[in-house]
Amino acid sequence: MAKSATKASYKKILSDLQEHNKWFENSIPLIASENVPSPAVKEALLSDFGNRYAEGWPGERVYAGCVYIDKVEIECMNLAKKLYKAKFADVRPISGVVANLAVYSAFTNPGDVMIAPSIPAGGHISHGKKEHSGTAGLVHGLDIEFYPFDADEMTIDVDKTKAKVEELKAANRLPKMAMFGGSLFLFPHPVKELSDFLKGYNIHINYDAAHVAGLIAGGQFQDPLREGADTMTMSTHKTLFGPQGGLVLGREEHAEPIKKATFPGLTSSHHIHHMAAKAIAFAEALEFGKQYAKDVIKNAKALADALSDAGFKVLGEKRGYTKSHQIAVNVLDYSDGGKVEADLEKANIIVNRQLIPGDIKAGRNYFHPGGIRLGVSELTRLGMKSAEMKEIAGYIKNIVIEKKDPKKLAAKVKSFRKDYQKVHYCFDNKLGAYEYVKLR
């Protein structure tokens, strides 16, 4: 009895995995932090590297058996350095959050002040305060201050930031680190405009490129390491080509503290199969990244324009809505971000609700915020262009404004998706983007 119940749950897990793939094959994936990897990246994830340990640095490992792992990791670091024109790369952090923890650990002490974007202003919870369970505050004990934010320009306010840093200094709370980058990220942050000022106070500047790493790699967003950022952290799977993982970049002088923070500080296994898959993704970005980044930004602009034409309040209007892969929409005229997210999901359109400037003051929370966020990285990688963006804006209007039946629309979405089942901007694409690989 118990045995057959176990077998049933084993089978159920595998069939749910398969169903998920089928669902995504028939959906419009618009989560800005997601992308779809190439078959080669998936192949690396299935390799035996995933069963090994390679603690330490290539050539200085703790265990034997790392001959090929060392070769791939050295190549991975070289490709990362080439892609971002950086002197030093640590490819071991297993996620963007771990990459951020590595720079917190390397360059600050608990109790130090860090200035970062607040969440409604686009910040990420890994930059957040202890009382919000933010990683920086809760795990590393940093004392967080927020940048003044300009909601019309949808970016950090340069003059008010300077004034705030002076005030903090006067109160004996000068920041040790300034964090740029975020999760709701429509326009480049003023790194160039603030870096000389911040360096005048010896403040370490880190740029969190989790969302825009692929756009930076393609030379289409901003170039933080040339604009004055000391170090740059990122996730490798949002606008970059996957797999899920992290990366830290810096100059030679940053190498030792970052290496120690990553291992033994923050990792034991660094998920070697993911490291290998990152190496492949970096090679793909070097070869195809420029065109991809251009196409992503063009698609985001096309979707934003079409949504605005459809009657939606798209944020950042003053600046043309977006210069990244993202679009943010204020949906308070119809209901709230949580309700809109759930309605769209029923029509196989996958988006996320989003806190937007003004939400916290108005008493709205993360479950029922004022906005939704859309990202076009995955649709672009599937080969979609401006015409498809217009069609998608129409579907979103059907559900949110016209309150049409989501079931009927889901069927439309399914047929719309038929021609976009391969991953583009990669060397090999024999396997379908969501094709389920059965090994049993």
Ligand X SMILES: *Cc1c(COP(=O)(O)O)cnc(C)c1O
Of the ranges 43-51, 179-187, 287-295, 423-431, which one interacts with ligand X (CB under 6 A)? Answer: 179-187
- Residue 197 is which amino acid? F
**233 vs 398, beta carbon nearer ligand X:** 233
End-to-end CA distance of the chain: 24
Q: Does the protein bind ligand X through residue 188 (CB under 6 A)?
A: no
Using Cβ positions, the residue closest to ligand X within the complex turns out to be 96
The token duo for 175 is 């920041």
Q: Does the protein bind ligand X through residue 124 (CB under 6 A)?
A: yes
Q: Could you give the CA distance from residue 78 to residue 44 in angstroms, rounded to a whole number?
A: 18
Query: 217 to 256, contacts with ligand X by CB under 6 A?
Result: 235, 246
Binding-site residues for (6S)-5,6,7,8-tetrahydrofolate: 123-125, 252
Compute the chain's Rg from CA coordinates.
Answer: 22
**324 vs 348, beta carbon nearer ligand X:** 324
**227 vs 305, beta carbon nearer ligand X:** 227
Q: Does the protein bind ligand X through residue 175 (CB under 6 A)?
A: no
**Residue with structure tokens 């459809």?**
310
- Sorted by sequence, the CB contacts under 8 Å of residue 286 that are 6+ apart come out as 79, 82, 83, 217
SS3 category, 273: helix
- Closest of 99, 122, 126 to residue 114, by C-alpha: 126
Q: Facing residues of 178 across strands?
A: 115, 205
Query: Applying CB under 6 A, which of residues 134, 182, 190, 214 lies at the interface with ligand X?
Result: 182
The interface mask with ligand X, positions 277-316, x = CB under 6 A, is ----------------------------------------
Q: Could you give the CA distance from residue 356 to residue 123 in angstroms, rounded to a whole number?
A: 11
Q: Could you give the CA distance from residue 320 to residue 299 in angstroms, rounded to a whole number?
A: 13
Contact by Cβ (8 Å): 33, 242: no
Query: Applying CB under 6 A, which of residues 210, 258, 389, 400 lies at the interface with ligand X?
Result: 210
Query: Applying CB under 6 A, which of residues 29, 39, 96, 357 lies at the interface with ligand X?
Result: 96
Query: Nearest distance from residue 268's CB to ligand X, in Å?
Result: 17
**205 vs 409, beta carbon nearer ligand X:** 205
Binding region for ligand X (CB under 6 A): 33, 95-97, 100, 124, 126, 181-183, 208, 210-211, 235, 246
